[in-house]
Amino acid sequence: MKKVNINEKLNLFDEYWSPKIVGELNGQFIKLVKVKGEFVWHDHKNEDELFLVIKGKLIIKLRDKIIELNEGEFFIVPKATEHKPFAEEEVHLLLFEPKDIEHTGKIKHELTKEKPEWI
């Protein structure tokens, strides 16, 4: 058992849309990710997904509305809900996701990461 310093972990990488695993809790991975620009429309048929903004402003586009998240705010995308994250400027996020979640659902895209790395 050891503590995790989120800022130290965020300083270990620069790439966007490439979640890094920093912990595991009850069948869920805790991930950190830096994002900028537009992601791909996708869903997760069987998994909810939590986005917590550590730094910046994240937009989550849903088919019927737009969710705007500022620092210290989070949103849970319900399973089977199509969504498309977007960040005009660099955003740092903490994600809670089931261990077996597919990064971009069933969509295969150049941004898809098959196996997130532990840092």
- pLDDT tens digits for 49-92? 899 999 999 999 999 999 999 999 999 999 999 999 999 999 99
Query: For 2-6, 103-107, 112-116, which range has the lowest pLDDT when averaged over its residues?
Result: 103-107
Q: Where is pLDDT greater, at 38 or 116?
A: 38
Give mean pLDDT, residues 34-53: 90
Residue 38: is its pLDDT beyond 80? yes
What pLDDT is stored for residue 80 in this prediction? 92
- With CA atoms as reference, report the closest residue to 32 among 45, 17, 44: 17
Task: Quote the pTM value.
Answer: 0.85
What Cα–Cα distance (Å) separates residue 57 from each residue in 19, 79, 93? 17, 23, 10
Confidence class for position 97, pLDDT limits 50, 70, 90: confident
Give dist(CA 26, CA 71) in Å, integer: 26
Give mean pLDDT, residues 20-39: 94
Please count the helices (runs of H) and the strands (runs of E) in the chain.
Answer: 1, 8
Residue 15: is its pLDDT beyond 90? yes
Q: Yes or no: say if 105 and 42 are a contact pair by the CB < 8 Å rule.
A: yes
The residue ranges of every structural domain in the chain are 6-118
Q: How high does pLDDT run on average in the chain? A: 89
The CATH-assigned architecture of domain 6-118 is Sandwich (2.60)
What pLDDT is stored for residue 111 in this prediction? 55
